[in-house]
Amino acid sequence: MSKIIVRGGKRLSGRVKISGAKNAVLPIIAASLLATKGESVIHDAPPLDDVMTISQVLKSLGVRVHYHNETIQVNAEHISTCEAPYEWVRKMRASFLVMGPLLARQGYCRVSLPGGCAIGTRPIDQHLKGFEALGAEIEFGQGFIEARVKGRLRGAKIYLDVASVGATENIMMAATLAEGTTIIENAAREPEIVDLANYLNAMGARIRGAGTGVIRIDGVESMQGAVHCVIPDRIEAGTFMIAAAISGSSLYIEGAIADHLRPVISKLQEMGVTVGEDENGVQVSRERPLRAVDVKTLPYPGFPTDMQSQMMALLAVSDGTGIVTETVFENRFMHVEQFCNMQAQIKVDGRTAIVSGNSKLRGAKVCATDLRAGAALILAALAADGETEITGTHHIDRGYVDIERKLRELGADIRRVEPAEEIEQVANHEMSIFTVQPTWA
């Protein structure tokens, strides 16, 4: 498969435009299943493999989906089946988000168990607990989950044991068409939850409190298609902020919403990075040596787990020792071994990684073990001596739009290599939206 090759040591400069948020657009596309009338038009939908995957899930349900120029149109007036197949759901955890809308609208669904990044066991018990509280009966089949309800779901009070992003989204979507009021307590507060609630409200839902720990949903009889613009991707923005810091550069990150990035901005400032903000984005500059800091991942508004590996790359080249504690996922240190192949000094003890700084990173052959780990390896490679070859690029393509083009335009020496004999195969493969966008459009 393809490789990304980076020759480190280049200064970057200029501005980079952040794409729409992967983690916002995926639930929003799933939510469009709730519209029994009219078409949804979703702008700033990034051309990512994950967006293709969720589109394929909807198409497999008989829904009309069309993608053009970062706008996705969904017409879900007609649904022909309530079964979301393994073929697509296994590729990505967010596919499981069709369960809430299907159950609410059709009273039945059969959804394959979800896949996604291998960063922990990632149970779905909180999603199912929520559906059961709303009156659904849940059955496990072989690799499938079936949910059914007689008549409409009924509003309920649901306390989440963990403030799960996916469970909050799935339950919130299911509750929109329930009879009566649903209250989700200990709800996740991520900006992507707020974006989803805004879209659902534009479709006719009645949701209050999204972005706080208590969300109230007053059920409505029906919903229709709506127009929506997806928020900018705070994780992509954070990744480019670290690109500026790790390469000793100054970059303007266009579209970044500083309020969504507070924990990342605050850590970078503690490390000696200058961050300026205005209404259109953030300016990040690093002129002096970096100071190591400790980082603990937490649900929003804490430091995002999706920025942990990128921050670890930065700590590896900072002065001093930084302790990284991962509290959200129990197995999200797979990238450490890859960093160590680049001469980073990192020791893992359970959920803690001790990063001894001042490493002179060296280019090496490394493999992206998951999406953010792949981005973090690119960042490390920007600061490394010599050439780094990164495989496992399919992980990166799940969540970053044209990362190598964006970095190249800023001055990085980065390119993607497709082995000659595989080019034709890739071009014919419907997974690659970059080469065969029209097959799922």
Ligand X SMILES: C=C(OP(=O)(O)O)C(=O)O
- Applying CB under 6 A, the residues found at the interface with ligand UD1 are 23, 26, 93-94, 120, 122-127, 162, 164-167, 188, 192, 305-306, 328-329
CB of residue 23 to ligand UD1, shortest distance in Å: 3
Nearest to ligand X of 216, 395 (CB atom): 395
Nearest to ligand X of 189, 216 (CB atom): 189
413 annotated to bind ligand: no
Nearest to ligand X of 23, 182 (CB atom): 23
- Amino acid identity at 93: R
With residue 415 as reference, give the H or E element that holds it.
Answer: strand 413-417
124 annotated to bind ligand: yes
289 annotated to bind ligand: no
Nearest to ligand UD1 of 69, 121 (CB atom): 121
List contacts with ligand X (CB under 6 A).
Answer: 23, 92-94, 116-117, 119, 306, 371-372, 399
Residue 117 designated active-site? yes
59 annotated to bind ligand: no
Catalytic residue, from 82, 117, 229, 367: name it.
117
Binds 125, which of ligand X, ligand UD1, none (CB < 5 to 8 A, cut-off by type)?
ligand UD1
331 annotated to bind ligand: no
Binds 328, which of ligand UD1, ligand X, none (CB < 5 to 8 A, cut-off by type)?
ligand UD1
CB of residue 44 to ligand X, shortest distance in Å: 17
Binds 126, which of ligand UD1, ligand X, none (CB < 5 to 8 A, cut-off by type)?
ligand UD1
Nearest to ligand X of 146, 306 (CB atom): 306
CB of residue 431 to ligand UD1, shortest distance in Å: 18
328 annotated to bind ligand: yes
The residue at minimum Cβ distance from ligand UD1 is 166
Binds 123, which of ligand UD1, ligand X, none (CB < 5 to 8 A, cut-off by type)?
ligand UD1
Task: Output the 3-class SS for the chain.
Answer: CCEEEEECCCCCEEEEECCECHHHHHHHHHHHHHEEECEEEEECCCCCHHHHHHHHHHHHCCCEEEEECCEEEEECCCCCCCEECHHHHCCCHHHHHHHHHHHHHHCEEEEECCCCCCCCCCCCHHHHHHHHHCCCEEEECCCEEEEECCCCCECCEEECCCCCHHHHHHHHHHHHCCECEEEEECCCCCHHHHHHHHHHHHCCCEEECECECEEEEECCCCEECCEEECCECHHHHHHHHHHHHHCCCEEEEECCCHHHHHHHHHHHHHCCCEEEEECCEEEEECCCCCECCCEEECCCCCECHHHHHHHHHHHHCCECEEEEECCCCCCCCCHHHHHHHCCCEEEEECCEEEEECCCCCECCEEECCCHHHHHHHHHHHHHCECEEEEECHHHHHHHCCCHHHHHHHCCCEEEEECCHHHHHHHHHCCCCHHHHHHHCC
CB of residue 305 to ligand X, shortest distance in Å: 8
CB of residue 80 to ligand UD1, shortest distance in Å: 26
Nearest to ligand X of 238, 255 (CB atom): 238
CB of residue 276 to ligand X, shortest distance in Å: 27
CB of residue 78 to ligand X, shortest distance in Å: 28
Task: Kindly state the tokens that stand for 230.
Answer: 């997806």
Binds 180, which of ligand X, ligand UD1, none (CB < 5 to 8 A, cut-off by type)?
none
The residue at minimum Cβ distance from ligand X is 116
Binds 399, which of ligand UD1, ligand X, none (CB < 5 to 8 A, cut-off by type)?
ligand X
23 annotated to bind ligand: yes
Q: Which residue has the tokens 């009338």?
A: 37
State how far the alpha carbon of 251 is from the alpha carbons of 98, 273, 286, 399, 415, in Å. Answer: 38, 12, 9, 21, 20
Q: Which residue has the tokens 């799933």?
A: 30
Binding-site members for UDP-N-acetyl-alpha-D-glucosamine are: 93, 122-126, 306, 328
Catalytic machinery residues: 117
Annotated binding site: 22-23, 93, 122-126, 306, 328
Binding region for phosphoenolpyruvate: 22-23
